[in-house]
Amino acid sequence: MFPRILWKLLGASRGRLTVSLIALTSGAAICSALLNVNLDAERKLTQEFRTLGANVIVAPPAAGGDAALLDSGVVDRIEGLHIAEIAGAAPYLYVAANSGSQPVILAGTWFDQVATMNSWWKVEGRWVSSRGDHEHCLVGFNAARLLGLAPGSSLQLRSGDRSLALTVAGIVTTGGAEDNQILTNLDSAQSLAGLAGRVSLIQVSVAGTASEIEGVTRKLAEALPRLDVRPVRQIAATQGTILERIRGLIFWTVALILVLSMLAVLASMAALAMERRKDVGLMKALGGTVPRIMRLFLAEAGLLGAAGGLLGFLIGVLLARWTGERIFGVVISARLEVLPVTIALTIGVALAGAFPLRLLGRVRPADILRGE
């Protein structure tokens, strides 16, 4: 009997219920779109920050002399930890050298890891792709201008009684310290400096939010107790700030949309309550209790909310995809975990908007049967 009466109620007030359904579906669509954008934006933003270079540095605990250098085996120890968030690790050895009479800084590194961690670098010429390339180098923009170098130029470096002959593969512009350096193979820099198996520091790229970066930093510090492991605060803090602002904006927007949807449902249900006074009076006269009658109306509101949430989720997926392509230039993927959240929120809004139906509990059958 309960399902039959519920079905009759849904069919008897199609106009006002349709208005409520449209309000709930519209609110659910916007909430679904924003939640999908939020979840996917965090993942994509994290990926974008990975391309901005290292966000964790592993350095020796003291400065000065050979004691301020690391054993190159530290890189193998980091890779051996198998931390999933670590996207790359590049060792660096900085050597003071001379090109003719001009002093320069030579940075020996692994080019393949540097390319992965700094894909945004602008290179005129070509990139040195192999970490085992002993013949070519990359020259920073400022250093190339100072030394008069171009792609294909020959370069002779000296440090003490050692020398190193290189060919310039490309001129790199980074906007950082690398613009004033010459980058070459790590083994070549170690040979020129006479520091086999030694590095100045290790740059690590960690994928994740600011809190996840801090967590990986703690793991590295525990695994490398005598070394200085620290995050690059500017990148980690900026990433965390942007994510927090996105979350805050989406939270308050969703809250506002839900309140507006609830007000629309509230207005529709208030009018519906006036229409159903006679139905409620008749139910009471036939022996229906107030709790049972209210369960009937709340079930109606719950079904309305579930339908609005499901429709809104599907529309929100399309809206999120359109927003991602038109505004952010990326494809926003549908996140299935948003579906139960959207339906739950919409049901909650529908039940809150059905508050005026509680007034039907005060209807007296005698008044209704007298026609008053």
| Domain match, 60 and 126 both | yes
Residues of the chain with pLDDT > 90: what percent?
Answer: 26
Among residues 180, 208, 231, the one where a domain terminates is: 231
| Domain match, 119 and 167 both | yes
> Which strand (E) or helix (H) includes residue 39?
helix 14-50
| pLDDT at site 65 | 46
252 contacts: CB under 8 Å, gap ≥ 6: none
How large is the average pLDDT for residues 325-336?
Answer: 70
pLDDT band at 278 (very low <50, low <70, confident <90, very high): low
Could you tell me if 275 and 313 are in contact, meaning their C-beta atoms sit under 8 angstroms apart? Answer: no
Name the residue among 331, 345, 326 with its Cα closest to residue 43: 331
Reported as a single tens digit per residue, the pLDDT across 193-226 is 999 999 999 999 887 667 778 888 899 999 998 8
Angle at CA of residue 146, ends 141 and 152, nearest 5° = 65
pTM for this prediction: 0.59
pLDDT higher than 50, residue 174: yes
Report the Cα 332 to chain-centroid distance in Å. 12
Beta strands 86-99 and 201-206, pairing class: antiparallel
3-class state of residue 173 by DSSP: strand
| Domain match, 223 and 244 both | no
One DSSP character per residue, 116-153 reads HH-TT-EEEE-----TT--SEEEEEHHHHHHHT--TT-
| Domain match, 110 and 134 both | yes
| Domain match, 42 and 65 both | no
Q: Distance between CA 270 and CA 268 in Å, rounded?
A: 5
Residues of the chain with pLDDT > 70: what percent?
Answer: 73
Amino acid at 133: D
Name the residue among 297, 163, 216 with its Cα closest to residue 54: 216
Reported as a single tens digit per residue, the pLDDT across 235-269 is 555 666 666 777 777 788 888 887 887 777 777 76
Greatest Cα pair distance in the chain: 115
Domain count across the chain: 2
| pLDDT at site 232 | 77
Of the candidate ranges 36-50, 55-69, 162-176, 358-372, the one whose mean pLDDT is the lowest: 358-372
Amino acid at 316: G
| Domain match, 60 and 206 both | yes
One DSSP character per residue, 192-247 reads HHT-TTEESEEEEEE-S-HHHHHHHHHHHHHHSTTSEEEE-HHHHHHHHHHHHHHH
| Domain match, 98 and 199 both | yes
| Domain match, 265 and 322 both | yes
| Domain match, 248 and 340 both | yes
3-class state of residue 311 by DSSP: helix
Residue with tokens 């208005």: 19
| Domain match, 74 and 222 both | yes
In terms of residue numbers, what domain contains 361? 2-47+240-369
| pLDDT at site 211 | 76
Q: Distance between CA 210 and CA 232 in Å, rounded?
A: 10
> Which strand (E) or helix (H) includes residue 92?
strand 86-99
Mean pLDDT, the chain, integer: 80
Reported as a single tens digit per residue, the pLDDT across 152-161 is 999 999 998 8
